[in-house]
């Protein structure tokens, strides 16, 4: 008989695996500040697929590919097609992956790349865009070239939305979404325009509260705009009705009353959702983290080198998940001191290394 699926110390199952494929990025968003170079010891395709296989056996049903910028990874399509045998099959009743998703800044998503990702078996794409003007996009993406460079990036991301749609990522079925981080005093003047842009293009906008991830972004709670304030501001112009947050999800969703689609907010600062968090993260160099805000993780390389050891990997991941007790965001909101401590934070792993 198969051993039961593991639950962590708070009774939470494992459900989502986020793979960071590279710590590098072609942008330098000041709220993220990725490394310019890869960590040593990057995993190869076979090693990554071994971890995905082991995680699926422990309950993972959703695989999210991220980074850094995952489109910089030339083996992306190969990895996606390699995960096909791990899919669930309704006919045979096999439990397995229900979806493979990608989070990207979109700057490299050409029409050909969107088609090749679709062909490889990618189900969903989330594109990140934090402004609707060249000036705001340049500031939020950390572009040295100012407004002209921002205009260029904006044009690429807007084109990427259409490339993804044409390749078959249907926003009406939740297969194409937009992420935006909103920071007070930096791009909050873009909130309404971003909502308008997403409504016009019938793409769900997911507004993310500015988070205290990593150690480099100089996080200041005064720059956080709460999800409630963002929803209130948008609802004043376009009335909204709540749909709620799906269990194990990160985003609370809303429906525009005029039928122009949906809006979502990720309130990990003001309304943390650690209670049903089912996410495991794997860095590009094979370290497993059980929380976005963790200081350290478990290096899986001993079970991946020189060749993958499936039984050892199963034992290591099972034990890691059973010991998991992270609920950083809830603890932060219960102990305001932790928020001021975040101005001089404990060493968190960086966002681009962990995978957002
Ligand atoms: N490069 C890709 C991208 O930007 O979509 C994938 C990696 S990025 C780390 C994933 C997501 O994390 C992006 O939507 C980004 O805006 C978000 N993110 C990064 N740093 C953040 C922060 N400090 N607070 C909130 N969201 C953040
Ligand atoms: Fe790069 Fe994404 Fe980080 Fe921006 S948020 S610097 S695009 S990894």
Determine if ligand 2 sits within 6 Å of the CB of residue 191. Answer: no
- Asked whether the predicted pLDDT for residue 335 surpasses 90, the reply is no
Collapsing DSSP to helix, strand or coil, 299 comes out as strand
Distance 37 CA to ligand 2 centre (A): 14
The structural domains of the chain, with segments of one domain joined by +, span 1-104+276-356, 127-209+227-266
Could you count the other beta carbons within 10 Å of the beta carbon of residue 325? Answer: 10
Tens of pLDDT, residue by residue over 63-100, are 999 999 999 999 999 999 999 999 987 777 778 999 99
DSSP string, 244-276: E--TT-S-EEEEETTSS-EEEEE-TTTS--GGG
Tens of pLDDT, residue by residue over 262-302, are 999 999 999 988 999 999 999 999 999 999 988 899 999 99
Determine if ligand 2 sits within 6 Å of the CB of residue 28. Answer: yes
| CATH topology agreement for domains 1-104+276-356 and 127-209+227-266 | yes
Determine if ligand 2 sits within 6 Å of the CB of residue 69. Answer: yes
Q: Of 342, 259, 349, 331, which Cα lies nearest the Cα of 295? A: 349
Could you count the other beta carbons within 10 Å of the beta carbon of residue 285? Answer: 17
Could you count the other beta carbons within 10 Å of the beta carbon of residue 4? Answer: 7
Decide if 293 contacts 329 (C-beta within 8 A): yes
Which residues make beta-bridge pairs with 256? 240
Instruction: Give the mean pLDDT of 7-20.
Output: 96
> Measured from the CA of 32, which atom of ligand 2 is nearest?
3
**CATH 3.20.20.70 corresponds to the domain 1-104+276-356:** yes
Phi, psi angle pair for 144, to nearest 5°? -70, -30
Q: What is the pLDDT of residue 1?
A: 64
- Asked whether the predicted pLDDT for residue 343 surpasses 70, the reply is no
Q: What is the pLDDT of residue 330?
A: 84
Distance 310 CA to ligand 1 centre (A): 32
Average pLDDT of the residues of the chain: 93
Q: What CATH topology corresponds to 127-209+227-266?
A: TIM Barrel (3.20.20)
Q: Which has the minimum average pLDDT: 127-136, 203-212, 346-355?
A: 346-355
Instruction: Give the mean pLDDT of 247-253.
Output: 94
Determine if ligand 2 sits within 6 Å of the CB of residue 105. Answer: yes
Residues 6 or more apart whose Cβ sits within 8 Å of residue 347: 215, 295
């Amino acid at each position: 008989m198969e051993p039961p699926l593991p639950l962590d110390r708070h009774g939470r199952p494992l459900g989502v695996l986020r793979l960071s494929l590279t710590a590098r990025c072609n942008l330098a968003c000041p709220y993220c500040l990725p490394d310019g170079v890869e960590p040593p010891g990057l995993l190869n395709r076979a090693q990554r697929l071994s971890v995905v296989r082991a995680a699926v056996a422990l309950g993972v049903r959703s695989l999210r590919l991220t980074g850094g910028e995952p489109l910089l990874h030339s083996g992306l399509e190969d990895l996606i097609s390699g995960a096909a045998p791990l899919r669930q099959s309704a006919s045979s009743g096999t439990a397995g992956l229900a979806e493979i998703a990608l989070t990207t800044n979109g700057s490299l998503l050409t029409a050909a790349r969107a088609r090749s990702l679709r062909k490889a078996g990618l189900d969903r794409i989330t594109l990140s865009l934090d402004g609707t003007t060249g000036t705001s996009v340049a500031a939020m993406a950390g572009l040295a070239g100012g407004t002209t460079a921002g205009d260029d990036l904006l044009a690429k991301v807007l084109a990427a939305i259409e490339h993804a749609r044409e390749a078959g990522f249907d926003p009406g079925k939740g297969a194409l979404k937009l992420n935006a981080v909103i920071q007070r005093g930096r791009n909050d003047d873009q909130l309404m325009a971003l909502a308008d842009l997403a409504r016009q293009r019938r793409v769900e906008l997911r507004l993310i509260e500015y988070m205290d991830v990593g150690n480099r972004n100089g996080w200041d709670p005064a720059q956080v705009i709460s999800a409630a304030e963002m929803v209130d501001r948008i609802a004043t112009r376009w009335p909204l009705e709540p749909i709620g947050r799906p269990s194990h999800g990160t985003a609370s969703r809303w429906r525009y009353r005029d039928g122009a689609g949906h809006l979502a907010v990720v309130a990990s600062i003001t309304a943390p959702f650690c209670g049903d968090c089912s996410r495991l993260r794997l860095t590009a160099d094979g370290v497993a983290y059980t929380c976005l805000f963790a200081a350290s993780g478990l290096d899986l390389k001993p079970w991946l080198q020189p060749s993958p050891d499936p039984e050892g990997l199963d034992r290591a991941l099972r034990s890691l998940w059973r010991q998991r007790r992270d609920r950083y965001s809830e603890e932060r909101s219960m102990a305001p001191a932790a928020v001021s401590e975040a101005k001089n934070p404990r060493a968190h792993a960086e966002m681009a290394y962990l995978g957002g």
